[in-house]
């Protein structure tokens, strides 16, 4: 694609070490008449490659405008629910700083995440939740030292651990959810079941640990809005028990699990096709019935992660090797080897149950020649297979590149340098 025909993309010239937001920084403007998300991604990728040359390391490109779109979408649907971005989803420093510039608060799971948010970015510790039910004692002490008071418990041992290491903490009791519709269920690992809620609230009162509310998580990638019905009923019941036990119950945390942006059509929906706006209608109706908040007696918050990041970024990979066999039926069987894989950003295939889809960097219509491709990552591990049975691509050569849309959530966050391969480097832009 010829760059002079591109029109609605702004390439930002700052990098991962920059803490300022995008506004006001010098930029390069490209011109475009295309509304296709893939064409826009191709334009950005070509521009970056023009600047960087023939590089071999994997690349991630983040559209900060899509992050802003999602912020506005949330505020339209949930204007009175406070946003606490789940840093674990994508802890990229520029992304976190950009969200901070919009007034977003943070859900941190470790001392490292709290260090980034509170110490490096200067975010107020009272606007951070240490949202990990089972914590290392040193991390609890770190939270105490940097002023983060709000955290979570779901068992008696955690109550004692927090009381010993952070006696001034304020805690939410995490409830177990029915999360069978989620991509990544969590109730098998975290959450107090109904039969344990009262004893935990009573025990917290007995040892003098301040319980201020309830937390739940319907599972990452939840696809059934009715899951919130049971969760909010359980939360209301837990609130009432907490009040009976003498706690000042005032915080309701709806957790994560909110669907991410589909960059192809601008929708935000679950794998089963339920739109975020439909989920919001269900949740708002339940909140009005169970937690009426005319006098602002409740602080209601949520911890979206993939909601902001899933559709914000695309990956650009490089074909460094290739081999071809011919099947007994004359079909070409191609193996491509790229510079990123399951030990890098494509860990999402394993850990986030993601479905990835490769496209060519340059537009290239397929021909009728039968071929089937498997795409492998760069490591020496035979397990490092990104995708199999690819039939929609034309035959590609060493040195060509592939684009993978929707690679912003749970990708770079869990990548490694196994075998000594370089992790993907982020570049940033704004589609206008």
398: left (phi over 0), alpha (psi -120 to 50) or beta: beta
pLDDT at 184: 52
What pLDDT is stored for residue 34 in this prediction?
Answer: 58
Question: DSSP assignment, residue 184?
Answer: B
Q: How far apart are CA 149 and CA 159, in angstroms?
A: 14
Return all residues near 317 (Cβ < 8 A) that are at least 6 apart.
Answer: 58, 59, 338, 339, 340, 401, 402, 404
Give the start-to-end residue ranges of the domains of the chain: 3-64+311-431, 78-304
CA angle, 223 as apex, 221 and 228 as ends, to 5°?
Answer: 100
Residue with tokens 């989620």: 182
Residue pair 340/58 in contact (Cβ under 8 Å)? The answer is yes
pTM of the model: 0.90
Judged by phi (left if over 0) then psi (alpha if -120 to 50, else beta), residue 296 lies in left
Architecture of domain 78-304: Alpha-Beta Barrel (3.20)
Structure tokens at 185: 């269920």
Q: Going from the first residue of the chain to its last (432 residues), give the mean pLDDT of each consecutive group of 10, the final group possibly shorter.
A: 36 43 39 71 91 90 95 97 97 95 97 97 97 96 98 96 97 83 58 93 97 89 74 96 97 95 91 91 95 94 97 96 93 96 96 93 77 96 95 94 96 94 91 76
Q: CB within 8 A of 233, min separation 6: which ones?
A: 290
Q: Are 96 and 116 in contact (CB under 8 A)?
A: yes
Indicate which residue of 146, 184, 188, 380 is catalytic: 380
Name, in order, each residue with C-beta under 8 angstroms of 189's C-beta and a sequence gap of 6 or more: none
| Residue 105: strand pairing partners | 84
Determine the pLDDT at residue 2. 27
Instruction: With beta carbons less than 8 A apart as the criterion, state whether 318 and 401 touch.
Output: yes
Whether the Cβ atoms of residue 314 and residue 406 lie closer than 8 Å to each other: yes
The whole-number pLDDT of residue 11 equals 55
Q: Evaluate whether the domain defined by 3-64+311-431 bears CATH number 2.40.37.10.
A: yes
What pLDDT does 180 receive? 53
Contact 107, 84 (CB under 8 A): yes
Give the closest residue to 22 by CA, choosing from 62, 60, 82, 49: 62
Residue 380 designated active-site: yes
Nearest CA-CA partner of 196 in 157, 148, 168: 157
Return the pLDDT at 29.
43
């Amino acid at each position: 694609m010829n760059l002079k025909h591109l029109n609605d993309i702004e390439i930002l010239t700052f990098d991962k070490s920059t803490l300022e937001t995008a506004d006001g920084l010098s930029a390069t403007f490209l011109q475009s008449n295309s509304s296709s998300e893939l064409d826009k991604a191709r334009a950005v990728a070509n521009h970056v490659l023009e600047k960087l040359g023939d590089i071999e390391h994997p690349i991630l490109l983040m559209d900060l405008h899509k992050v802003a779109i999602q912020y506005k979408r949330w505020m339209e649907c949930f204007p009175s629910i406070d946003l606490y971005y789940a840093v674990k989803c994508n802890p990229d420093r520029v992304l976190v700083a950009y969200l901070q510039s919009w007034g977003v608060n943070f859900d941190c799971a470790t001392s490292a995440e709290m260090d980034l948010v509170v110490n490096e970015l200067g975010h107020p510790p009272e606007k951070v939740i240490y949202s990990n039910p089972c914590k290392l004692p040193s991390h609890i002490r770190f939270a105490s030292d940097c002023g983060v008071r709000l955290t979570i418990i779901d068992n008696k041992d955690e109550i004692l651990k927090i009381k010993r290491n952070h006696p001034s903490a304020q805690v939410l009791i995490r409830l177990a959810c029915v999360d069978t519709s989620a991509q990544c269920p969590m109730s098998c690992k975290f959450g107090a079941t109904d039969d344990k809620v009262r004893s935990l609230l009573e025990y917290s009162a007995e040892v003098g640990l301040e319980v201020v509310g309830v937390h739940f998580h319907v599972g990452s990638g939840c696809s059934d809005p009715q899951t919130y019905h049971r969760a909010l009923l359980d939360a209301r019941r837990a609130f009432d028990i907490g009040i009976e036990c003498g706690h000042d119950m005032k915080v309701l945390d709806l957790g994560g699990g909110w669907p991410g942006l589909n960059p192809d059509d601008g929708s935000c929906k679950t794998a089963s096709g339920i739109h975020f706006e439909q989920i919001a209608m269900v949740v708002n109706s339940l909140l009005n019935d169970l937690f009426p908040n005319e006098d602002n007696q409740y602080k209601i918050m949520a911890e979206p992660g993939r909601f902001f990041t899933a559709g914000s970024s695309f990956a650009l990979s490089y074909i460094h090797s290739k081999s071809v066999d011919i099947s007994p039926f004359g079909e070409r069987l191609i193996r491509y080897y790229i510079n990123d894989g399951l030990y890098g950003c494509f860990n999402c295939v394993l850990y986030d149950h993601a479905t990835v889809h490769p496209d060519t960097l340059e537009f290239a219509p397929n021909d009728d020649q039968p071929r089937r491709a498997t795409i492998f990552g760069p490591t020496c591990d035979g397990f490092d297979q990104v995708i199999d049975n690819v039939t929609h691509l034309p035959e590609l050569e060493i040195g060509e590149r592939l684009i993978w849309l929707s690679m912003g959530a749970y990708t770079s966050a869990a990548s490694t340098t196994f075998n000594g391969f370089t992790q993907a480097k982020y570049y940033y832009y704004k589609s206008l």
